[in-house]
Amino acid sequence: MNLVLFGPPGAGKGTQAQSVCVEYGLVHLSTGNLFRAHISNETPLGKEVKSILDAGELVPDSIVLNMVKEELQKPAFQKGVVFDGFPRTVAQAEGLQDVMKEVNTSIDAFIMLDVPNDVLVQRLLSRGEGRSDDTEKKIQHRLDVYQKETTPVKGYYESKGTVYSILGIGTIEEVFSRIQSVIDSL
Protein backbone atom coordinates (compact mmCIF):
# COMPACT_ATOMS: atom_id res chain seq x y z
CA MET A 1 0.00 0.00 0.00
CA ASN A 2 1.32 3.44 -0.97
CA LEU A 3 -0.15 6.58 0.54
CA VAL A 4 0.41 10.32 0.25
CA LEU A 5 -0.31 12.34 3.41
CA PHE A 6 -0.89 15.84 2.17
CA GLY A 7 -1.51 19.21 3.73
CA PRO A 8 0.08 22.56 4.47
CA PRO A 9 3.07 23.04 6.74
CA GLY A 10 1.98 22.28 10.31
CA ALA A 11 -0.97 20.06 9.33
CA GLY A 12 0.45 17.07 11.22
CA LYS A 13 1.62 14.97 8.29
CA GLY A 14 4.77 13.74 10.01
CA THR A 15 3.02 12.80 13.24
CA GLN A 16 0.25 10.96 11.43
CA ALA A 17 2.64 9.28 8.98
CA GLN A 18 4.52 7.72 11.89
CA SER A 19 1.29 6.31 13.34
CA VAL A 20 0.17 4.97 9.95
CA CYS A 21 3.54 3.27 9.43
CA VAL A 22 3.42 1.55 12.81
CA GLU A 23 -0.20 0.44 12.37
CA TYR A 24 0.11 -0.81 8.79
CA GLY A 25 3.78 -1.83 8.52
CA LEU A 26 4.69 0.81 5.95
CA VAL A 27 7.84 2.91 5.61
CA HIS A 28 7.73 6.66 6.23
CA LEU A 29 9.33 8.77 3.50
CA SER A 30 9.56 12.40 4.51
CA THR A 31 11.37 14.69 2.14
CA GLY A 32 11.69 17.12 5.04
CA ASN A 33 13.49 14.48 7.13
CA LEU A 34 15.73 13.61 4.19
CA PHE A 35 16.57 17.29 3.71
CA ARG A 36 17.23 17.76 7.45
CA ALA A 37 19.60 14.77 7.41
CA HIS A 38 21.51 16.27 4.47
CA ILE A 39 21.59 19.69 6.20
CA SER A 40 22.75 18.15 9.48
CA ASN A 41 25.49 16.19 7.71
CA GLU A 42 26.48 19.34 5.78
CA THR A 43 26.42 17.54 2.45
CA PRO A 44 26.56 19.68 -0.72
CA LEU A 45 22.83 18.94 -1.18
CA GLY A 46 22.21 19.94 2.43
CA LYS A 47 23.90 23.31 1.97
CA GLU A 48 21.91 23.98 -1.19
CA VAL A 49 18.62 22.92 0.40
CA LYS A 50 19.25 25.00 3.54
CA SER A 51 19.66 28.20 1.54
CA ILE A 52 16.42 27.47 -0.37
CA LEU A 53 14.45 26.66 2.79
CA ASP A 54 15.85 29.66 4.66
CA ALA A 55 14.35 31.83 1.92
CA GLY A 56 10.98 30.11 2.51
CA GLU A 57 10.94 28.62 -0.98
CA LEU A 58 10.33 25.09 -2.25
CA VAL A 59 13.24 22.86 -3.26
CA PRO A 60 13.29 22.39 -7.09
CA ASP A 61 11.46 19.33 -8.41
CA SER A 62 14.51 17.76 -10.01
CA ILE A 63 16.39 17.65 -6.69
CA VAL A 64 13.42 16.22 -4.81
CA LEU A 65 12.57 13.59 -7.45
CA ASN A 66 16.13 12.30 -7.66
CA MET A 67 16.33 12.02 -3.89
CA VAL A 68 12.98 10.20 -3.65
CA LYS A 69 13.84 7.84 -6.51
CA GLU A 70 17.08 6.92 -4.75
CA GLU A 71 15.19 6.20 -1.49
CA LEU A 72 12.48 4.10 -3.19
CA GLN A 73 15.12 1.76 -4.59
CA LYS A 74 15.99 0.61 -1.06
CA PRO A 75 14.51 -2.80 -0.13
CA ALA A 76 12.63 -1.45 2.89
CA PHE A 77 10.24 0.41 0.61
CA GLN A 78 8.95 -2.71 -1.15
CA LYS A 79 6.28 -3.26 1.56
CA GLY A 80 4.71 0.11 0.98
CA VAL A 81 5.33 3.75 1.77
CA VAL A 82 3.71 6.78 3.32
CA PHE A 83 4.89 9.92 1.53
CA ASP A 84 5.02 12.96 3.80
CA GLY A 85 5.76 16.36 2.30
CA PHE A 86 5.94 14.95 -1.20
CA PRO A 87 4.81 15.51 -3.92
CA ARG A 88 4.55 19.28 -3.57
CA THR A 89 4.06 20.20 -7.21
CA VAL A 90 2.17 18.67 -10.12
CA ALA A 91 5.51 18.02 -11.81
CA GLN A 92 6.62 16.06 -8.73
CA ALA A 93 3.32 14.12 -8.75
CA GLU A 94 3.84 13.24 -12.41
CA GLY A 95 7.46 12.32 -11.71
CA LEU A 96 6.38 10.17 -8.76
CA GLN A 97 3.87 8.39 -10.98
CA ASP A 98 6.68 7.57 -13.42
CA VAL A 99 8.92 6.30 -10.61
CA MET A 100 6.09 4.18 -9.18
CA LYS A 101 5.42 2.68 -12.63
CA GLU A 102 9.09 1.70 -12.85
CA VAL A 103 8.63 -0.44 -9.73
CA ASN A 104 5.17 -1.73 -10.81
CA THR A 105 3.10 0.02 -8.17
CA SER A 106 1.00 3.15 -7.72
CA ILE A 107 -0.45 5.53 -5.14
CA ASP A 108 -3.48 3.94 -3.43
CA ALA A 109 -4.73 7.03 -1.60
CA PHE A 110 -4.01 10.73 -1.35
CA ILE A 111 -5.12 11.74 2.17
CA MET A 112 -5.57 15.50 2.57
CA LEU A 113 -5.29 16.93 6.10
CA ASP A 114 -7.49 20.03 6.19
CA VAL A 115 -6.46 22.55 8.88
CA PRO A 116 -7.44 26.26 9.12
CA ASN A 117 -4.61 28.78 8.57
CA ASP A 118 -4.79 30.29 12.07
CA VAL A 119 -4.30 26.84 13.62
CA LEU A 120 -1.37 26.16 11.27
CA VAL A 121 0.41 29.38 12.26
CA GLN A 122 -0.01 28.60 15.98
CA ARG A 123 1.23 25.03 15.53
CA LEU A 124 4.28 26.16 13.56
CA LEU A 125 5.16 28.90 16.04
CA SER A 126 4.92 26.53 18.99
CA ARG A 127 6.38 23.29 17.62
CA GLY A 128 9.88 24.10 18.85
CA GLU A 129 11.90 22.51 16.05
CA GLY A 130 14.16 25.52 15.95
CA ARG A 131 13.79 25.94 12.20
CA SER A 132 15.16 29.20 10.93
CA ASP A 133 11.96 29.73 8.91
CA ASP A 134 9.61 29.44 11.90
CA THR A 135 8.85 33.15 12.28
CA GLU A 136 5.34 34.44 11.73
CA LYS A 137 6.33 36.34 8.56
CA LYS A 138 8.15 33.36 7.05
CA ILE A 139 5.39 30.95 8.10
CA GLN A 140 2.83 33.09 6.28
CA HIS A 141 5.12 33.17 3.23
CA ARG A 142 5.39 29.35 3.33
CA LEU A 143 1.61 29.06 3.54
CA ASP A 144 1.25 31.44 0.59
CA VAL A 145 3.77 29.39 -1.43
CA TYR A 146 1.86 26.23 -0.46
CA GLN A 147 -1.44 27.71 -1.69
CA LYS A 148 0.06 28.86 -4.97
CA GLU A 149 2.38 25.99 -5.86
CA THR A 150 1.27 22.95 -3.87
CA THR A 151 -2.52 23.02 -3.74
CA PRO A 152 -2.79 22.07 -7.48
CA VAL A 153 -1.36 18.65 -6.56
CA LYS A 154 -4.72 17.83 -4.96
CA GLY A 155 -6.38 18.44 -8.32
CA TYR A 156 -3.93 16.08 -10.00
CA TYR A 157 -4.90 13.25 -7.64
CA GLU A 158 -8.60 14.14 -7.80
CA SER A 159 -8.43 13.38 -11.51
CA LYS A 160 -7.23 9.90 -10.53
CA GLY A 161 -10.02 9.39 -7.98
CA THR A 162 -7.70 8.83 -5.03
CA VAL A 163 -8.32 11.92 -2.84
CA TYR A 164 -9.74 11.60 0.66
CA SER A 165 -10.09 14.77 2.77
CA ILE A 166 -9.67 14.45 6.54
CA LEU A 167 -10.29 17.11 9.18
CA GLY A 168 -6.81 17.66 10.60
CA ILE A 169 -7.78 19.25 13.91
CA GLY A 170 -8.53 17.54 17.20
CA THR A 171 -6.32 15.19 19.16
CA ILE A 172 -3.65 13.17 17.40
CA GLU A 173 -5.74 10.08 18.09
CA GLU A 174 -8.91 11.62 16.62
CA VAL A 175 -7.12 12.58 13.41
CA PHE A 176 -5.49 9.15 13.20
CA SER A 177 -8.87 7.47 13.61
CA ARG A 178 -10.17 9.44 10.61
CA ILE A 179 -7.15 8.35 8.57
CA GLN A 180 -7.63 4.72 9.63
CA SER A 181 -11.22 4.85 8.40
CA VAL A 182 -9.98 5.86 4.96
CA ILE A 183 -7.21 3.24 4.84
CA ASP A 184 -9.47 0.47 6.09
CA SER A 185 -11.97 1.30 3.34
CA LEU A 186 -9.41 0.83 0.55
- Residues with a catalytic annotation lie at 13, 88, 127, 131, 142
Beta strands in 85-181 (DSSP E): 109-114, 163-167
The span from the CA of 68 to the CA of 111, in Å, is: 19
How large is the angle between the packed helices 136-145 and 117-126, nearest 10 degrees?
130
Contact 46, 38 (CB under 8 A): yes
The SS3 of residue 144 is helix
Please give the order of strands across the beta sheet that includes 27-30. Answer: 27-30, 81-84, 2-6, 109-114, 163-167
